[in-house]
């Protein structure tokens, strides 16, 4: 794969990933997790941000590896 091919595939991949990850359903799931794991209301925003960033990174890495290594579904 050339650099240009990679850039094209990455651009398509990241656009789709962003659209899917930032869906209202995912945001609501993450909010629920944050609320369940926050003792003080004033900590909710920072806890939500932490959970959002952690899950986004985990999913991004996993999806990118699966996409760019072209794993066959078996």
pLDDT in tens, 3-28: 999 999 999 999 999 999 999 999 99
Cα–chain-centroid distance for residue 72? Answer: 22
Across the range 28-40, mean pLDDT stands at 95
The conformational region for residue 70 under phi > 0 = left, psi -120 to 50 = alpha, else beta, is left
| Residue 73, pLDDT above cutoff 70 | no
Across the range 38-54, mean pLDDT stands at 96
DSSP state of 1: -
């Amino acid at each position: 794969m050339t650099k240009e091919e990679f850039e094209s595939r990455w651009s398509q991949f990241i656009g789709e990933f962003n659209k899917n990850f930032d869906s209202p359903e995912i945001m609501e799931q993450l909010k629920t997790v944050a609320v369940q794991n926050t003792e003080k209301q004033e900590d909710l925003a920072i806890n939500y941000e932490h959970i959002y960033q952690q899950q986004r990174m985990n999913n991004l890495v996993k999806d990118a590896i699966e996409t760019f290594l072209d794993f066959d579904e078996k």
